[in-house]
């Protein structure tokens, strides 16, 4: 199973320099988990930069994977992880969701560099 961080989705949708890194995880929809927080972050960013129609098209693609709701149990465990690893809210929710489902996290967010279970690539400008 795979989880793609919001930055990975945005890189893929923008066909950025690291888009090919994220493509295998995104395109294998039968193995793709999509945390609801990722839907929020991607929808918001695309709406800010493009149009709501573009954001809705992106969300439709993301929903081809299995959407994982943020439950009370996931939230509390993510808070523990946030304290332990000193991660921001969104990063801790996404990482904990990844771990709860035995998945691999794909990201270019430097907060995750060196963390077990994470496929990290440095963001290219």
Q: Does any domain span residue 125?
A: no
Using a 10 angstrom Cβ sphere, with 0-12 exposed, 13-18 middle and 19 or more buried, the burial of residue 62 is buried
The CATH code of the domain that includes 105 is: 3.40.50.1010
Asked if the structure places residue 62 within a domain, the reply is yes
Q: What phi and psi values does residue 7 have, to the nearest 5 degrees?
A: -65, -30
Which residues does the chain have with pLDDT short of 50?
Answer: none
Residue 110 lies in a domain: yes
Indicate whether 19 belongs to any domain: yes
Structurally, how many domains does the chain consist of?
A: 1
Containing domain of residue 15, as a range? Answer: 2-120
* Element containing residue 2 per DSSP (H, E): strand 2-4
pLDDT value of residue 125? 78
Q: Is residue 17 part of a domain?
A: yes
Where on the phi/psi map is residue 86: left (φ > 0), alpha (ψ -120 to 50), or beta?
A: left
């Amino acid at each position: 199973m795979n989880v793609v961080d919001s930055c990975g989705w945005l890189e893929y949708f923008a066909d950025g320099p690291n888009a090919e890194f994220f493509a295998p995880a995104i395109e294998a929809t039968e193995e793709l988990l999509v945390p609801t927080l990722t839907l929020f972050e991607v929808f918001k960013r695309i709406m800010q930069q493009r149009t709501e129609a573009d954001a809705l098209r992106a969300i439709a693609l993301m929903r081809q994977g299995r959407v994982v709701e943020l439950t009370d149990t996931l939230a509390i465990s993510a808070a523990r992880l946030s304290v332990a690893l000193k991660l921001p809210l969104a990063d801790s929710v996404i990482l904990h969701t990844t771990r709860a489902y035995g998945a691999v996290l794909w990201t270019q967010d430097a907060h995750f560099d060196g963390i077990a279970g994470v496929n990290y690539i440095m963001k290219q400008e």
